[in-house]
Structure formats: structure tokens, C-alpha cells
Amino acid sequence: MFDRLRTNTRAAALLADVFDFDITRLDPVEPVRLASGGELRVVAGDASGGTFFVCDDGPVLYADSEGGAGIVAADPDAVIRLVVGVPTWHDVVSDAPDVSAMRASFESSYAELKADEPRIDQLRAEVSAELELDQVAVEELLASLSRCLTELSPRYLVLSENGDEYDPL
């Protein structure tokens, strides 16, 4: 997926500018590691200083600049579907595992986003087409995010370079 993004400049630009997933921002706010010793590979960053990592066994971990971290997607394709399909995903993580509450938070935050960016639906469709990604229903994306945060994340404890544990997202 990330190789496709590096060659598809339109999709990469939209992901960075509209969906806050910048594949050129590869410098985390601070060095982090997994307590298990597993490998983390930086694949993108966002405007708030957060960093997306692919774990050596496939899931995508997000570490924010405030000391929170968690698995947000099962694999690289899934993280792109998440940031495009639920562009306000940051606003829903605190409601997990309650998918209904996540949906309510999404609807509220998405309405605000749409007021600021009236073409957001068109841009979501454009990125999906550029990357040949199947469109996935918001409910399915939210359920997957909830599972990742509650079932996968506990197996991926993130530590700062000083050994301090990151909080769950």
C-alpha cells in the first residue's frame, strides 16, 4: 500500500492535505519502542505530531504526541480505509468499545468537517478510486477500530525511550 502511495502523488497529496495522513512525515515526536521488542516502522505522521507505525506482524499503531498509543488498523490497507472512511477517527476512539457511541461522535464531528470542507465526500471517493480501495461502510470501519483498540492494542505496549508506558488511546 505505501509503495502505491509513493507513486500516486495525487492520492498522497489528498491523504496529507485532507485526511491528515502524511507519508512524508517520518519523524516521530520522540523515539518509541514496543515492550515486546517487536519492530515498529514509521509510515506516516499527522499535523498534531502523531505517528503511524506498522508493527512487524502487520497491525498499524498510532502514537500521539501526548503519550497515548494504540492499534488503529489490522493492516496498512485498513489504516488507509480508516483515515479516508472515518476522517474524524481521532474524535471517536474515546468511545470504544461502544460502536453506537462511536457512530454518534463520528456523525457530530463529520458534520463539522463537512461544514469546513463541503467536498469531503467527493474527496473520500477520489482517494478510494485512486488507490483502488473498496469503499467500506462507516459502521464496519468503526467496529474494526473498536476491535483494534480493545482487543489488539493491549498486546502492543508502547514505551518511550526512557521506558515510560504510553497510555491507551
How many beta carbons lie within 10 A of that of residue 109, not counting itself? 17
Residues 6+ apart with CB under 8 A from 9: none
HSE-CB at 22 with a 13 A cutoff on CA atoms is 16
Per-residue pLDDT of the chain (169 residues; tens, 9 = 90+): 788 888 899 999 999 999 999 999 999 989 999 999 999 999 999 999 999 999 998 999 999 999 999 999 999 999 999 999 999 999 999 999 999 999 999 999 999 999 999 999 999 999 999 999 988 999 999 999 999 999 999 999 999 999 999 999 9
d(CA 37, CA 157): 10
Cell of 73: 488498523
The pLDDT of residue 139 is 97
Bridge partners of 22, per DSSP, are 45
The pLDDT of residue 69 is 97
The pLDDT of residue 138 is 97
Strands 167-168 and 68-73: parallel
d(CA 162, CA 160): 5
Residues 6+ apart with CB under 8 A from 41: 53, 54, 56
